[in-house]
């Protein structure tokens, strides 16, 4: 009941009531739960491989300090070593012999190594950002290829979706012709047939057209989306017919009417559909999973999910790749937040 | 124009966004203008009325080939056997696939069924849908109600709850897998609080719980947004009138908010039902259906039966997907009914 009171309370209350505390408490928990996991991913993705294996984990990417000595090929880990004098110094571990380590002073690499028991030394920790986590996948796992494939699919699909659906919506909203209503009902009726229900025959069609393992096999099937036609048609109905008639009087062809008058005026609806299309295609998973089986044609989502099976022990790469997949969406969202939320709220689409 | 108001440096160097918009416009104009002659030629032959069919054609072709045709072919697959993809190689078996799927001594006892994996998936899906939709609707309703109240930084909070909706299912699954794994954040917090380590993704009940949790986490913002729009559409003067009459708050809630939000709420319930029946992506990446078959749901069953298992039992999978289609169809008709009534009343 207190919740309800919070939600229906009058606007002139000034002081914080219990209900306000509950409201902000809920919101605070919400922020932690909704944002926290992504933040944790971001922080983890910058940790080195060894830092990721620490338990319990630290929030910031802390790693063992390492030092590169001129005469050694690999960087050496640095430990805090207690010295005979009673003080301690930061020394680099050169070699381990059983329980004892041989340490050298980075300042005097030529001097005799110091011996110390490994259970008496402490690793020196510092903030280390493992940017390599980001660079390596691009070089080693053809991640750049997946990125390119995803960009291609997303951009081409969105352009084609906007073109094909707006043409159809134009005809359905601005012409009266035989079979128009039947077509509209036909399109709407397939709203209830998501791709997950026609996987097998859709795969047959794509196979028969020789489009398996081709990005076009991913792009084409979902282009003619009933939601897109519906959204654009409803919007175009509000464009006055007088505009079209006037253009025709001036000798404009139908195609010209379409691209010069209808398209610019339908911009708000096109923008909403465009944003949805980008989201749908960038995040698409099940359909590419079935159409694409060769690694060079994988999209980002497929590449990522395949790696999570193969690289189960290589979380440092996996997390960075996840971040790179997530980043474009976050950027688009920050730029277009208002459009996206009002678009969804006004159409009820996702 | 006053030159002082627009320093020359401004107009000389357009921003990146402006340059992008300009380039986009040029590309659009160029492409559309290039397409003008062919379309004009067609129009000359078939007339203005005939152009309607030209505009509808691309959509209708793609639609027929990739959506309508598969809908019909799906029925054929369900009525034929063998593991061949090509239609002509598949022998007709009548309703065998359906009778195999439905062959159960007791529908509540998975082990008495011939296709126990199918029924396990059905049972899992039913439980998942029940839990997920309940949690989803309850939480998104509470969130929408709170966001609709007088709040500081409402835009920020709305964005926070909406943010996961944009993430791809694979990203969502990996984010949570990283938190839930054996040495993950959650176990660290749990043990810091004196608890025992839990194998969240290797224990059947926990794993099931997390599939529900993660899918609610990922999609709740979407439904909250729809409900928020519904709440904001309720006329403010109703509340003002109630306040002037001194109506108690709970009464205002039950008499104004609930009835006026009901159509939106029903749409949300049905939309989330439709989505929950089809749940696949996040769960497939998060648990892979495991441990065992504890989190294997119906779409994963269809996918694996048709494509991932060694023998591709396409007929069986098609029959199962037809059964799912029937469920979805009923739900969609309900949804369209409600949205339609909501708009006319």
Q: Do A198 and B321 touch (CB under 8 A)?
A: yes
Q: B207 with B239, same domain?
A: yes
What is the per-residue pLDDT across A22-76, written as a single tens digit (0 to 9) for each?
A: 888 899 999 999 989 988 998 888 887 777 777 777 777 777 777 777 777 777 8
What is the per-residue pLDDT across B22-69, written as a single tens digit (0 to 9) for each?
A: 888 899 999 999 999 999 999 989 888 889 999 999 999 999 999 889
Q: Which residues contact A206 (CB under 8 A, 6 or more apart)?
A: A212, A217, A221, A291, B66
Asked if residue B102 belongs to a domain, the reply is no
Residues of B in contact with A330 (CB under 8 A): 166
Q: Nearest-CA distance from B145 to chain A in Å?
A: 6
Q: B287 with B326, same domain?
A: yes
Contact with chain A for residue B24, Cβ under 8 A: no
Residue of A nearest to B62 (CA): A224
Q: B68 with B112, same domain?
A: no
Q: Do A201 and B77 touch (CB under 8 A)?
A: yes
Asked if residue B1 belongs to a domain, the reply is no
Among A11, A35, A333, select the one facing B166 at the smallest CB separation.
A333
For residue A36, give the nearest of A24, A48, A47, A28 by alpha carbon. A28
Q: B315 with B226, same domain?
A: yes
Q: B128 with B161, same domain?
A: yes
CATH number of residue B268's parent domain:
1.10.3720.10
Can you give the residue range of the structural domain that contains B263?
Answer: 107-344
Among B165, B303, B325, select the one facing A193 at the smallest CB separation.
B325
Q: How many CB pairs under 8 A join A and B?
A: 303
What is the per-residue pLDDT across B323-342, written as a single tens digit (0 to 9) for each?
A: 988 888 888 888 777 776 65
| Whole-number average pLDDT of chain B | 86
Q: B159 with B257, same domain?
A: yes
Asked if residue B97 belongs to a domain, the reply is no
Q: Which of B25, B54, B89 is the last residue of a domain?
A: B89
Q: Do A30 and B161 touch (CB under 8 A)?
A: yes
| Whole-number average pLDDT of chain A | 83
Is the pLDDT reported for residue A4 higher than 60?
A: no
Q: Do B157 and A172 touch (CB under 8 A)?
A: no
Residue of B nearest to A54 (CA): B183
Residue of B nearest to A55 (CA): B183
Residues of B in contact with A340 (CB under 8 A): 162, 166
Q: B217 with B307, same domain?
A: yes
Q: Nearest-CA distance from B126 to chain A in Å?
A: 17
Nearest-10 Cα torsion for A247, A248, A251, A255: 90
CATH number belonging to domain A134-347: 1.10.3720.10
Asked if residue B290 belongs to a domain, the reply is yes
First CA to last CA distance, chain A: 32
For residue A226, give the nearest of A265, A183, A258 by alpha carbon. A183
Asked if residue B279 belongs to a domain, the reply is yes
Q: B188 with B249, same domain?
A: yes
**Total structural domains within chain B:** 2
Q: B51 with B194, same domain?
A: no
Among B48, B160, B285, select the one facing A254 at the smallest CB separation.
B48
Q: What is the mean pLDDT of residues B81-106?
A: 82
Q: What is the mean pLDDT of residues A216-239?
A: 90
Say if CB A16 and CB B155 are below 8 A apart. Answer: no
- Site of tokens 């290039």: B34
Residues of B in contact with A17 (CB under 8 A): none
Residue A251 CA to residue B268 CA, distance in Å, equals 48
Q: What is the mean pLDDT of residues A93-108?
A: 81
Q: B218 with B121, same domain?
A: yes
Q: Indicate the burial class of B266 (C-beta count within 10 angstroms; 0-12, 13-18, 19 or more).
A: middle
Cβ neighbours, 10 Å, residue B295:
26
What is the per-residue pLDDT across B145-191, written as a single tens digit (0 to 9) for each?
A: 999 887 778 888 888 888 898 889 999 999 999 899 888 889 888 88
The values of phi and psi at residue B325, to 5°, are: -60, -40
Q: What is the mean pLDDT of residues A113-119?
A: 80
Residues of A in contact with B226 (CB under 8 A): 344-345, 348
Q: What is the pLDDT of residue A49?
A: 77
Q: B167 with B296, same domain?
A: yes
Q: B234 with B111, same domain?
A: yes
Is residue B291 reached through a cis peptide bond, with omega within 30 degrees of 0 on the bond before it?
Answer: yes
- As a residue count, chain B comes to 345
């Amino acid at each position: 009941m207190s919740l309800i009171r919070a939600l229906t309370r009058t606007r002139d209350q000034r002081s914080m009531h219990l209900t306000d505390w509950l409201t902000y408490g809920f919101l605070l928990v919400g922020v932690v739960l909704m944002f926290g996991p992504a933040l944790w991913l971001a922080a983890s993705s910058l940790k080195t491989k060894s830092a990721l294996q620490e338990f319990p984990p630290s929030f910031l990417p802390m790693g063992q300090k390492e030092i590169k000595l001129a005469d050694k090929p690999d960087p050496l880990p640095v430990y805090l070593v207690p010295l005979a004098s009673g003080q301690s110094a930061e020394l680099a571990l050169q070699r381990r012999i059983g329980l004892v380590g041989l340490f050298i002073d980075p300042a005097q690499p030529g001097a005799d190594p110091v011996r110390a028991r490994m259970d008496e030394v402490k690793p020196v920790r510092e903030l280390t950002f493992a940017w390599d986590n980001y660079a390596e996948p691009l070089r080693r796992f053809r991640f750049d290829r997946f990125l390119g494939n995803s960009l291609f699919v997303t951009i081409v699909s969105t352009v084609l979706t906007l073109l094909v659906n707006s043409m159809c919506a134009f005809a359905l909203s601005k012409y009266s012709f035989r079979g128009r209503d039947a077509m509209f009902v036909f399109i709407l009726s397939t709203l209830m047939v998501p791709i997950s229900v026609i996987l097998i025959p859709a795969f047959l069609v794509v196979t028969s057209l020789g489009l398996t393992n081709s990005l076009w096999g991913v792009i084409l099937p979902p282009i003619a989306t009933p939601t897109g036609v519906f959204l654009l048609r409803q919007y175009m109905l509000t464009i006055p017919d007088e505009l079209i008639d006037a253009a025709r009087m001036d000798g404009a062809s139908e195609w010209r009417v379409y691209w010069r008058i209808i398209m610019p005026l339908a911009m708000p609806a096109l923008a909403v559909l465009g944003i949805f299309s980008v989201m749908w295609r960038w995040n698409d998973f099940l359909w590419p999973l079935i159409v694409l089986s060769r690694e060079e044609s994988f999209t980002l989502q497929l590449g990522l999910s395949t790696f999570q099976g193969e690289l189960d022990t290589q979380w440092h790469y996996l997390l960075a790749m996840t971040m790179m997949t997530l980043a474009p969406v976050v950027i688009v969202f920050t730029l277009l937040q208002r459009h996206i939320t009002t678009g969804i709220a006004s159409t009820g689409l996702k | 124009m006053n030159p002082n108001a627009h320093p020359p440096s401004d107009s000389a160097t357009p921003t990146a966004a402006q340059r992008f918009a300009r380039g986009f416009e040029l590309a659009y104009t160029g492409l559309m203008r290039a397409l003008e002659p062919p379309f004009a030629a067609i129009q000359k032959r078939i007339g203005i009325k005939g152009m309607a069919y030209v505009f509808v054609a691309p959509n209708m072709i793609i639609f027929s080939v990739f959506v309508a045709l598969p809908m019909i072919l799906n029925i054929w697959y369900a009525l034929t056997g063998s593991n061949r993809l090509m239609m002509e190689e598949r022998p007709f078996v009548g309703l065998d696939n359906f009778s195999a799927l439905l062959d159960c001594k007791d529908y509540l006892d998975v082990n008495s069924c011939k296709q126990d994996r199918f029924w396990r998936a059905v049972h899992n899906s039913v439980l998942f849908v029940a839990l997920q939709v309940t949690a989803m609707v309850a939480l998104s309703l509470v969130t929408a109600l709170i966001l609709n109240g007088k709040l500081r930084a409402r835009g920020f909070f709305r964005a926070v709850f909406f943010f996961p909706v944009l993430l791809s299912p694979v990203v969502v699954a990996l984010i949570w897998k990283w938190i839930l794994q054996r040495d993950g954040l959650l176990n660290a917090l749990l043990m810091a609080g004196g608890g025992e380590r839990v194998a969240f993704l290797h224990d059947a009940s926990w794993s099931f719980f997390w599939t529900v949790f993660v899918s609610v986490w990922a999609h709740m913002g979407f439904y909250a947004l729809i409900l928020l729009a519904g709440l904001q559409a309720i006329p403010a003067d109703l509340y003002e009138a109630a306040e002037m009459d001194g109506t108690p708050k709970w009464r205002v809630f039950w008499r104004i908010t609930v009835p006026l939000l009901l159509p939106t709420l029903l749409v949300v319930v049905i939309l989330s039902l439709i989505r929950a029946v089809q749940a696949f992506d996040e769960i497939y990446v998060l648990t892979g259906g495991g441990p065992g078959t504890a989190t294997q749901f119906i779409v994963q069953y269809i996918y694996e039966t048709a494509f991932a298992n060694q023998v591709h039992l396409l007929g069986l999978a098609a029959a199962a997907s037809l059964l799912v289609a029937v469920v979805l169809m009923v739900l969609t008709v309900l949804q369209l009914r409600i949205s339609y009534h909501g708009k006319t009343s």
